[in-house]
Amino acid sequence: MRVERLALLEQQAEHEQIDLFYADESGISQQGYSPYGWQFKDEKVSVPVGHGQQLNCFGLLSRNNKLHFKTTTDTINTAFLIAFFDEFVLKIQKPTVIVLDNAKIHQSKAFKIRCKYWQARGLFFVYLPPYSPHLNIIEKCWHELKQRWISVEDYYSFETLTYAVQLALMAVGTELFINFSPFNPNDK
C-alpha cells in the first residue's frame, strides 16, 4: 500500500465516511517489560520475573481511541483472526477499513479467502508497506500498556497480570487515552 492511500483513508475517516482501525498483536508475559531503569550506586533494585504463560493480545485501534481487542493464552494464528473478524464484522455500522502489517497470518490463504465474505459485509483490509511499524498507531497502544498502564506489582502472578491487562485495555477510550497527532505521511 502506498502511504498516499493511507492518507486518503485517514481523510475519509476524519470526515466519518469510513471507520478506520489499525490492527496488530502483542504478547505480555511475566518476564516483564523494562526498557530502561536506574538506581542509586548502593541501592539494590529488582523486578520480580516469572517464566510461564504469555498473554497474547490482538487489537484494532482508531485515532479516536476506539479499541476492539481479544486476549488469549493460545498462539494468535489465522484461525484466531478469522474468528475475531467473523465476530467483529457483525458490529460494524459503515464501511470499515483495517490496516495490517504483512505478518504471515495476515496474508495466509485461509485469511484471504475469508476476506471475500467480510468485504461483502463492508469490512476491508489494506496492508502497510514493509518495515513501517511507525505507521501503525496500535504499536503506541502496546507501548503504553507495557510501559505505563501496567505496574510492577501486576507482574506478581499471571492472574494479576492478566487482570491488569484486561482492565487497561477495557479503559482505552474512556479512562485511558492516547493523543495521536494528525496523520502525516512524512513522519518516521
pTM confidence score: 0.88
Task: Report how far residue 157's alpha carbon sits from residue 138's, in angstroms, rounded to the nearest whole number.
Answer: 26
For 71-128, the pLDDT digits (tens) are: 999 999 999 999 999 999 999 999 999 999 999 999 999 999 999 999 999 999 999 9
pLDDT above 60 for 50: no
Q: Which three cell numbers stand for residue 63?
A: 485515532
Task: Report how far residue 54's alpha carbon sits from residue 31's, in angstroms, rounded to the nearest whole number.
Answer: 9
State residue 54's pLDDT score. Answer: 95
The predicted model gives 6-29 an average pLDDT of 97
Q: Which residues, at least 6 apart from 149, have a Cβ–Cβ distance to it below 8 Å? A: 164, 168, 171, 176
**3-class DSSP assignment, residue 67:** strand
Task: Report how far residue 4's alpha carbon sits from residue 97's, in angstroms, rounded to the nearest whole number.
Answer: 15
Residue type, 69: F
Task: Report how far residue 97's alpha carbon sits from residue 12's, in angstroms, rounded to the nearest whole number.
Answer: 10
42 sits in the region (left: phi over 0; alpha: psi -120 to 50; else beta) called alpha
Between 1 and 6, the higher pLDDT residue: 6
- CB–CB of 28/161 below 8 Å? yes
**3-class DSSP assignment, residue 112:** helix
State residue 188's pLDDT score. Answer: 56
The predicted model gives 16-24 an average pLDDT of 98
State residue 26's pLDDT score. Answer: 97
State residue 42's pLDDT score. Answer: 76
Q: Checking DSSP bridges between strand 123-127 and strand 54-61, what pairing results, if any?
A: unpaired
Task: Count the residues in the chain.
Answer: 188
- Residue 46: pLDDT band (50, 70, 90) is low
State residue 15's pLDDT score. Answer: 97
The predicted model gives 126-152 an average pLDDT of 94
- Give phi and psi for 89, each to the nearest 5: -60, -25
**3-class DSSP assignment, residue 24:** strand
Beta strands (DSSP E) in 81-140 are 96-100, 123-127
> Which neighbouring-strand residues pair with 29?
54
